[in-house]
Structure 1
Amino acid sequence: MGDFPLNDPSIAIHYDVIPVKPEWANEEKLQEFLYERYRRKDELLNEFYKTGQFPGESRGTVQVNGWLMLRAQVFWMGSYYLHHILWIKPLWTFVVACLYSMIF
């Protein structure tokens, strides 16, 4: 998010990868875990608001490649258009023609 918006350094993302544990099937254990995560989140936010960075080692900033994002968007738009022309539009036309012939 380093380029969004206008290189504003106040935008930060902190994440943890937490493996799922079987004991969380118990609602009370899951509730304890979630309360602990919210407490940890509040600590992280307090530290971030005081110092401008999250505690612990910094993994650096992520630079978003604009051209790669543009290519991905063009791919998905082209894919949608191709599917629309090849099967969505003919199927919709067929369904409407069938409904029209049943009514009139």
Structure 2
Amino acid sequence: MTCEPIVIGATCDDQINYGETVDLLFTYTDENGDPVDLSSATPAIFSSSPDVIKADTEITVADAAAGKVRFLLDRTSALSLRKGRNNRFRLQVIFGADSDDVTPDIYLQVT
């Protein structure tokens, strides 16, 4: 757990350019840093601003054994993102009827 905001797109290595497809890979890990098995999990966007992130993002388990979740927002939808650090969402992984995990806000910084 981190107290610092999670910002994607803030460095040259992970830059998000306005109007480009946003294709990200997240890894769920346990307290020891080991990948969480997502075999029976369902990923979703819990909340977002702007709403286009929740409405149009394709969120899938990319590699269940490695704890990988893929976030894909196509180019047309990405045109609705705002420039700067003005886009945020919370990722949710549902493990069953009584178990889920929701991240803190994740910011997308668009240049």
The question of a shared fold, defined as TM-score above 0.5 by the shorter chain, is answered with: no
Task: Select the structure that is richer in helix.
Answer: 1
Please identify which structure carries the higher strand content: 2
Q: TM-score, normalised by structure 1?
A: 0.24
Normalising by structure 2, we get a TM-score of 0.23
Higher relative contact order (CA 8 A, sep 6+): 2
